[in-house]
Amino acid sequence: MKVVALVSGGKDSCFNMMRCAEEGHEVVCVANLHPPKEIAELDSYMYQSVGSEGIKFYADALGLPLFQRKISGRPKCVESNTYVQDEEDEVEDLYHLLKTVKEWDPEIRGVSAGAINSTYQKLRVEHVCERLGLVPLCFLWELDQLQLLDAMISAGVKAVLIKVAALGLTPKHLGHSLEQMRAHLVAMHAKYGLHVCGEGGEYETFVLDCPMFKRRRIAMDEATTEVHFNSAPNDAICPVAYLKLGNLSLVEKEAEEKKNICCAR
C-alpha cells in the first residue's frame, strides 16, 4: 500500500515510518505541519513544532517529496477525546494537508502516524483519515515505552533532544542523543513517573540519521538554546527550553564510512 508519512522530525514519526516499510508498505512522500515563521514553539495539542526548520533536510535525506502546511488553526475541542469538526481547529490543518497529498497521488491509501499513547491525537488522526478514505497506520500504539525506546536505539534511529519540559530534565540535556539519555530517562521515570519516550510532552527530539536516510545524514553544527516564553529563565525546578537548529547540512554517509575505515587502519 502506498503511504504518506506524517513527520515532525522526531523519533516517533520516524520509527513508525520505518515500521511501515518493514511491513511492506511503500512510503512515497512525507507530510509536515509547521508553525508560523515567527513562532518556534506553538504549544500545539497535536503537533511537534520545534525543529521544523530542519524538516526540508529530513525529507532530502529520505529522498522523498515533502508536503508542508502552516498551522493556522488552534486547539478548540480539548475537553474531550472526541473530535467535533471545526474549521478553526488545528486538526483541520491536517485534513487540508492530507487532502493535498491525496490529490497529488490518488493511489495513496495509508497514513503513517507516530502516536504512542495519546488517545486525543490518535482519534483525531483517525477522524481525518476516515473523511479522506485513508487508513491510519500506528504501529507504535500502546507499546511498552522502555522497550520501544530500546527498539528505536537498536534500529539505528539517531535522534537528539531538542526540547525539555519536565521535572528531571534541564537545558543541559538538549543536544544529547537517545543513547546518552537512556539511563537518565529510566531513572527519572522511577523517580518522577516521567514517560521514557516523552509521550507526556516531557521532551521532543530531532532525527539526524536513520536507516531510511540511504545516502546522507543531517549534520547540525550549531544550535541556540531558547527558554520558552512561559518559563522563567531562572526556573531551576522545571525549565522549558528548546534548541533552535542552525547551520544544518547533509553529509554523505559513504564518504564518512570510507574515512572511518581509513582512520581505523
CATH number at residue 156: 3.40.50.620
Q: How many angstroms separate the CA atoms of 143 and 132, rounded? A: 27
The confidence score (pLDDT) of residue 257 equals: 61
Closest Cα partner for 18 from 117, 155, 183, 217?
155
Find residue 220's DSSP bridge partners: 248
Residue entry with cell 487508513: 135
The confidence score (pLDDT) of residue 265 equals: 45
Q: How many angstroms separate the CA atoms of 165 and 202, rounded? A: 5
Phi/psi of residue 242, each to 5°?
-145, 165
- Per-residue pLDDT tens digits of the chain, which is 265 residues long: 999 999 999 999 999 999 999 999 999 999 999 999 878 788 799 999 999 999 999 999 999 999 999 999 999 888 889 998 999 999 999 999 999 999 999 999 999 999 999 999 999 999 999 999 999 999 999 999 999 999 999 999 999 999 999 999 999 999 999 999 999 999 999 999 999 999 989 999 999 999 999 999 999 998 999 987 555 444 556 789 999 999 999 999 976 665 554 444 4
Q: Could you tell me the residue range of the domain that residue 209 belongs to? A: 2-264
The confidence score (pLDDT) of residue 10 equals: 98
Find residue 108's DSSP bridge partners: 2
Q: How many domains does the chain have?
A: 1
pTM of the model: 0.93
